[in-house]
Amino acid sequence: MTLSVNYPNQNRNYCTFDTKKINSIVEKKENAIPEIVTGLKNPANEDEAIVYLYILNILLDKGLDKKIVSDIYPTLSKYNNTKSPNIQTYLAGIYRKTKVPDGFGPLVKMLIQDSINPPKDAHFDPTEEIGGAILDYLA
């Protein structure tokens, strides 16, 4: 299944996705985790990685057991050093919702990295989500 994303632009500060394809994966609930992990381990491109992070975010909103995210943290950690504002935003959202203990350090690193070298051509500020996730960890 080809997964793609429509990135933020000057008129919209959020990504949009093919909801039919997304919903077909989300409907599987916990059974979608192997597909998500495979997609995140070997994405065809950044779009695919973002889509799978987005799907994981949706599943968390729908009550996915947070322990599952702890179990797949090694796969998520692959993205801890990304400079992509889109991946950073979705990853920070996942860490914020789950408070995976190993996620705190990478969030701080992303915040510092983006403060020193702000993402270019980002139509939103990923540091807002990153900072919010850090504050949730500290709360």
Q: Where are the domains of the chain?
A: 5-138
**What pTM did the predictor assign?**
0.92
Q: What is the pLDDT of residue 103?
A: 94
* Cβ-Cβ contacts under 8 Å for 113 (sequence gap 6 or more): 83
Summarize pLDDT for 76-134 with one digit per residue, the tens.
Answer: 999 999 999 999 999 999 999 999 999 999 999 999 999 999 888 777 788 999 999 99
What is the per-residue pLDDT across 12-33, written as a single tens digit (0 to 9) for each? 888 899 889 999 999 999 999 9
- Could you read off the pLDDT of 37-83 as tens digits, one per residue? 999 999 999 999 999 999 999 999 999 999 999 999 999 999 999 99
